[in-house]
């Protein structure tokens, strides 16, 4: 008895040793991680010619937090591009399945005929199928042997090297806007002003919680946000779709000017930030080990121009830099 137990333990140990080691990049399904992303846009400068001077100082910050949950590992990618070998393997499996279906078609036609003959009579169908099997056993076994290799090919699965992480719950965030523009203008209507120039100062201030979509309440448990990622444990890469504010951000704009055509006062305004065209493209990053504790930084140069809709004011030549900082921690 003791010898048998020792033998069983030895066999089990050898079997476990033969199993491939679980990749550190793959985690149990249901594992959660908190992704925090900070978008910071900064621009400061001066544009000056013989008549006019424009100066600006801009800082916009939005911080978004989303909770992601790991799904079951998969053999094929959802975000990563399929490798050439994977495409060839998939085509081979499809061809095998097609061959197997073709070989089985005559038998399937016979079974369909029996079903049509018996209709809803289950006893009849059971009797006819049994008789069909006994009378055609040699042909059935021949077909079974013929399609077995194709069935095995079609059913063969590769390693579960990919793992998706999807958003769960609603994302949250805060923002802050602090901007100041000063325009000195030599328009003819400013001839009576000091230095024959009009001076306009515009200041924009806003901060607070990033608003939820209008149909969501703070206690709403629905998923709100499109952040996701996919890990390739074999290729050691991570494709990350960052979360962004889902709603526009509000700020107060105060204008003080001695330009006769400019209205002084404070207005409520809104802006979409960061510019979606700059941040909605997924980013591919190297990954070794667990993504928990990983962080990164991306920098995007933003070119301002007189007709650039990304600027708060179309006359502000605000060339600047958008810095994206992201980090993961255990959920």
**pLDDT at position 3 over 80:** no
Mean pLDDT of 242-253: 92
pTM: 0.75
Find the angle CA(209)-CA(255)-CA(211) to the nearest 5 degrees.
15
Q: Which of 218, 229, 281 is nearest to 66 (CA)?
A: 229
- CB-CB contact of 303 with 317 (8 Å): no
pLDDT-wise least confident of 37-46, 131-140, 174-183, 221-230: 221-230
Backbone angles phi, psi at 289, to 5 degrees: 85, -170
For the chain, give every domain's residue range.
Answer: 23-75+160-330, 84-155
- Higher pLDDT among residues 280 and 106, named by residue: 106
Q: Which two tokens stand for residue 150?
A: 């194709």
pLDDT at position 73 = 95
pLDDT interval class at 233 (50, 70, 90): very high
Rg (CA), the chain: 33
Tens-digit pLDDT profile for residues 278-324: 777 888 989 888 888 899 999 988 876 544 444 444 345 567 889 99
Cα–Cα nearest to 156, from 98, 96, 100, 102: 96
User: What is the DSSP-derived secondary structure letter of residue 84?
Assistant: H
pLDDT(20) > 60: no
């Amino acid at each position: 008895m003791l010898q048998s137990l020792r033998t069983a333990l030895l066999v089990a140990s050898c079997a476990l040793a033969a199993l491939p080691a679980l990749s550190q990049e793959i985690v149990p399904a249901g594992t959660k991680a908190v992704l925090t992303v900070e978008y910071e846009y900064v621009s400061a400068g001066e544009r000056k010619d013989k008549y006019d001077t424009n100066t600006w100082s801009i800082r916009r910050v939005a911080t978004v937090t989303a909770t992601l949950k790991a799904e079951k590992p998969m053999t094929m990618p959802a975000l990563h591009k399929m490798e050439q070998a994977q495409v060839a393997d998939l085509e081979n499996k499809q061809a095998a399945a097609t061959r197997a279906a073709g070989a089985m078609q005559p038998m399937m036609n016979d079974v369909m005929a029996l079903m049509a003959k018996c209709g809803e009579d289950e006893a009849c169908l059971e009797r006819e199928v049994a008789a069909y099997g006994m009378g055609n056993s040699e042909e059935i076994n021949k077909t079974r042997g013929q399609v077995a290799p194709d069935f095995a090919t079609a059913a063969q699965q590769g390693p579960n090297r990919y793992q998706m992480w999807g958003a769960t719950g609603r994302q949250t965030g805060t923002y802050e806007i602090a901007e100041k523009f000063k325009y000195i203008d030599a328009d003819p209507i400013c001839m009576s002003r000091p230095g024959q120039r009009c001076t306009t100062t515009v200041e924009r201030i806003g901060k607070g919680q990033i608003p939820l979509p209008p149909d969501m309440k703070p206690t709403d448990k629905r998923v709100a946000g499109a952040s996701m990622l996919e890990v390739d444990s074999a290729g050691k890469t991570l494709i990350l779709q960052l979360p962004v504010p889902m709603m526009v951000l509000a700020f107060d704009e105060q204008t003080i000017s001695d330009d006769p055509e400019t209205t002084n006062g404070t207005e409520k305004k809104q802006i979409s930030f960061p510019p979606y065209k700059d941040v909605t493209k997924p980013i591919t990053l190297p990954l070794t080990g667990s993504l928990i504790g990983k962080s990164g930084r991306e920098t995007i140069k933003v070119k301002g121009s007189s007709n650039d809709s990304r600027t708060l004011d179309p006359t502000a030549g605000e060339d600047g830099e958008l810095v994206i900082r992201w980090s993961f921690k255990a959920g």
